[in-house]
Amino acid sequence: MNSKYKLLLILIITSISIFFSCTNDKSVNYFAVEIIKDSDSTIARGLNMYATKAEILKVENKKSLISDDNNTIEYKYFTNEIKELSVLYYLDSEGVYQIEITSEFVNSGDATQALAEFINHLSKKYGAPEKDKDIYYWDVFAKKTSIDINAKGLSDKILVITFSFLE
């Protein structure tokens, strides 16, 4: 095979590889970043425990608001990869004491991928989780906040992660 054909073959293979890597590859922590939306100074969705109702309303999209009463605020989001993302805030007189995020994915196996991403993401931030049966958990902020991921009954499309204040 002469060098002209070798070069053409290499260009074709490289182009195909680039095309498939760009169209099929999600970033390593795509679901963790998209769902948790935390930062170095927040625990989830740009908030911390005891966030006020006003703070929640400021960071979440008001078009996605499903319900709002004295004790709960719920949002639902939809993306190409996430069929339904439910974010439920539980509040008392002091503010948020629990955030429950339920993700229902479009593609089979994405819940398992998201679970692995959450464990990786949260372990980098808070250290290795403890595990009790099918529940992974981190006690953070001087053991005042618990992050639980319940993998029990994990379907290939649904995953629940809970951020709770510990009294």
In a domain, 113, yes or no: yes
Handedness of CA 48, 161, 53, 93 (dihedral sign): negative
Helix (H) or strand (E) holding 32, with range, is helix 30-36
Q: What is the pLDDT of residue 67?
A: 95
Residue 113, SS3? helix
In a domain, 69, yes or no: yes
In a domain, 9, yes or no: no
Q: For 63-74, what is each residue's pLDDT tens digit?
A: 999 999 989 999
Q: Which two tokens stand for residue 66?
A: 């499903």
Q: What is the pLDDT of residue 151?
A: 64
In a domain, 5, yes or no: no
Residue 25, SS3? coil
Terminal Cα distance for the chain, rounded: 73
Q: What is the pLDDT of residue 21?
A: 40
Q: For 152-163, what is each residue's pLDDT tens digit?
A: 556 667 888 888
| Mean pLDDT score, 28-43 | 81
CB 86 within 8 A of CB 132: no
Q: For 80-136, what is each residue's pLDDT tens digit?
A: 888 999 999 999 999 999 999 988 888 878 888 888 888 888 888 888 888 887 788
Residue range(s) defining the domain that contains residue 112: 26-165
DSSP label at 106? S
What pTM does this model have? 0.77
In a domain, 86, yes or no: yes
Q: What is the pLDDT of residue 15?
A: 46
In a domain, 67, yes or no: yes
Domain count along the chain:
1
In a domain, 149, yes or no: yes
In a domain, 21, yes or no: no
CB 72 within 8 A of CB 91: yes
